[in-house]
Amino acid sequence: MDFAWSDQQRELLNAVGRFASQQLNYDVIENDREGIFNHEAWKKCGDFGIQGLLVPTDYGGLGTTVAALERLGYACRDNGLLFSINAHMWTAIIPLVYNGSEAQKKKYLPGLCNGTLIGGNAMSEPNSGSDAFSLTTTAIKKGSRYILNGSKIFVTNGPIADLLVVFATVDKTRGTDGISAFLVEKNSPGMNVARKLEKMGLRTSPMAEVFFENCEVPEENLLGKEGGGAFLFTRSMTWERGCILASAVGSMQRLLETCIRYANERKQGGQSIGKYQLVASKIVDMKVRVESSRHMLYYYGWLSGHRKSVYLEAAMTKLHIADCWVKCSEDAIQIHGGYGYMTEYEVERELRDAIASKLYSGTSEIQRNIVASMLGL
C-alpha cells in the first residue's frame, strides 16, 4: 500500500486547505450559539467542488480521495457545516451514483455537486432506534405514484433539504425485502418538515422531524428497485461509516497543533506546561490517536479504491475515529484548563461536536456488534 500523494493530488489537497482556511472560518462562534446554517459557505464549497468529490465528472464532480475531506476538517472550524456536507454526500449523492437511473442522475447530481441543491436522508423513525429496518413508514403504489405515510426523525439537513432519500415499506410481509427508497423533493404535497431539533453540538447543521401524510411520489422517483431499499441503505452506510469522520481526523490534527502551541506558550512554575510529564503525555496520546485514525481512514480508502470488501473496516474506522475524537477533545480542554472551557477559545465546541460521532451512522455499540459478528462471535 502506498499512501503517498501524486503532485496533482497534493496540489488539490493544498488548494482545499487554502480555500477552507480563507473562505469558511467566519461567524463560527455566533452561528454555533444561534444554531445558524451557513448557506453562503455551503455555496462556496459547491463552487469549489467539495460536495462532488466522489462523483464521476460526467455529472459535475471532481473525483478524489478522503484526504481532501481530512484537509477540509483541518482547515475549517465549522464542524456542523462539514457534517451537513458529509450527510449530503454519503446519504444522498452516493445512493444516486450507485442506484439512480440515468434520468435521475442527470436531473439531480449536477445541482447536488455544485451546491445549488441540498440533499439528506430520511431513515430513522421515533421507535426504530438502532434497528434501522423496523420501519412503520409505508409506501403504497397507486397507478403511477407511490403514497407515503409515516414520520422520520433526526433528519440531517431536513429544514434546508431540496431532496430527501426516504425509506419506506412497500410490503411488510417481506420484511427487509419490502423496503424501498424514494427521492422526495422539497414542498412535495403531503410532506411536512415539522420542527427544527435543538442539539448539544453540531449546531450549525440543521436537523428536523419530517412527516408524510398521503405524500404522492412519482414512480420515476423510486430509487433503485422496489424492495431494494435495505441493500441500498446498507451500501450507503458502509460508505458513510468509512468516510464520514475523515474531516474529524483533520480536526484532531488541528487540536493537536493547538495544544502543542498552548503547552509551549503557557508558563507555570517558571517553565512551559509542556515540560510537565502529565501534560506532555496527553499530547503524545493525542498524536498516537491522530496517526492511528489517519492510518485506518487511508486503509479503508485504499481498500475501497481497489474494490475490496470493506464492511468490517468501515465499522472499525468509524468506531476508532469517534472514540479518538472525543478523547482528543477532552484532553484538549484539560490541557487548556479553565480557558478550554471558555467559548472564545473554541475548544469546548470540539467536544460538543465530537460526542455525536459515537451516535450517528450507527452507535459505537452497533459498530462493536458488527465487528464481533464479522469475527464469528
With beta carbons less than 8 A apart as the criterion, state whether 159 and 122 touch. Answer: no
Together in a domain, 366 and 249: yes
- Does residue 43 lie within any of the structural domains? yes
CATH number of the CATH domain containing 165: 2.40.110.10
- Does residue 80 lie within any of the structural domains? yes
With beta carbons less than 8 A apart as the criterion, state whether 285 and 331 touch. Answer: yes
Q: Give whole-number Cα distances, 343 to 91, 211, 350, in Å.
A: 32, 36, 10
- Does residue 236 lie within any of the structural domains? no
Q: What is the pLDDT of residue 256?
A: 98
Q: What is the pLDDT of residue 49?
A: 93
- Does residue 87 lie within any of the structural domains? yes
Q: What is the pLDDT of residue 132?
A: 64
Q: For residue 313, give the C-alpha cell.
A: 473496516
Together in a domain, 217 and 254: no
CATH number of the CATH domain containing 251: 1.20.140.10
Together in a domain, 182 and 140: yes
Domain hosting residue 178, numbered range: 120-227
Q: What is the pLDDT of residue 4?
A: 78
CA neighbours closer than 13 Å in the CB half-sphere of residue 209: 9
Domain boundary among 102, 118, 134: 118
Counts for the chain of helices (H) and strands (E), in that order: 13, 10
Together in a domain, 310 and 275: yes
Together in a domain, 361 and 253: yes
Q: What is the pLDDT of residue 173?
A: 87
CATH number of the CATH domain containing 88: 1.10.540.10
Angle (CA) 244-371-283 rounded to 5° is: 55
Q: What is the pLDDT of residue 57?
A: 74
As annotated, the active-site residues are 240
CA neighbours closer than 13 Å in the CB half-sphere of residue 368: 7
Total count of domains within the chain: 3
Together in a domain, 101 and 124: no
CA neighbours closer than 13 Å in the CB half-sphere of residue 133: 18
Domain boundary among 170, 201, 227: 227
- Does residue 237 lie within any of the structural domains? no
Together in a domain, 220 and 263: no
Domain boundary among 86, 118, 150: 118
Together in a domain, 181 and 264: no
The per-residue pLDDT for range 218-258, each reduced to its tens digit, is 999 999 999 999 999 999 999 999 999 999 999 999 999 99
Together in a domain, 111 and 129: no
- Does residue 208 lie within any of the structural domains? yes
Q: What is the pLDDT of residue 61?
A: 62
- Does residue 271 lie within any of the structural domains? yes
Burial tier of 374 (Cβ tally within 10 Å: 0-12, 13-18, 19+): middle
Q: What is the pLDDT of residue 54?
A: 85
Grid look-up 458488527 returns: 370
What's the residue count for the chain?
377
173 SS3 class: helix
pLDDT tens, per residue, the chain with 377 residues: 777 788 888 999 999 999 999 999 999 999 999 999 999 999 999 999 999 988 877 777 654 679 999 999 999 999 999 999 999 999 999 999 999 999 999 999 999 999 999 999 999 998 876 666 789 999 999 999 999 999 999 999 999 999 999 999 999 889 889 999 999 999 999 999 987 899 999 999 999 999 999 999 999 999 999 999 999 999 999 999 999 999 999 999 999 999 999 999 999 999 999 999 999 999 999 999 999 999 999 999 889 888 888 999 999 999 999 999 999 999 999 999 999 999 999 999 999 999 999 999 999 999 999 999 999 99
Together in a domain, 212 and 259: no
How many angstroms separate the CA atoms of 263 and 259, rounded?
Answer: 6
Together in a domain, 216 and 147: yes
End-to-end CA distance of the chain: 29
- Does residue 238 lie within any of the structural domains? no
With beta carbons less than 8 A apart as the criterion, state whether 50 and 247 touch. Answer: no
Q: Can you give the C-alpha Rg of the chain in angstroms?
A: 21
Together in a domain, 64 and 179: no
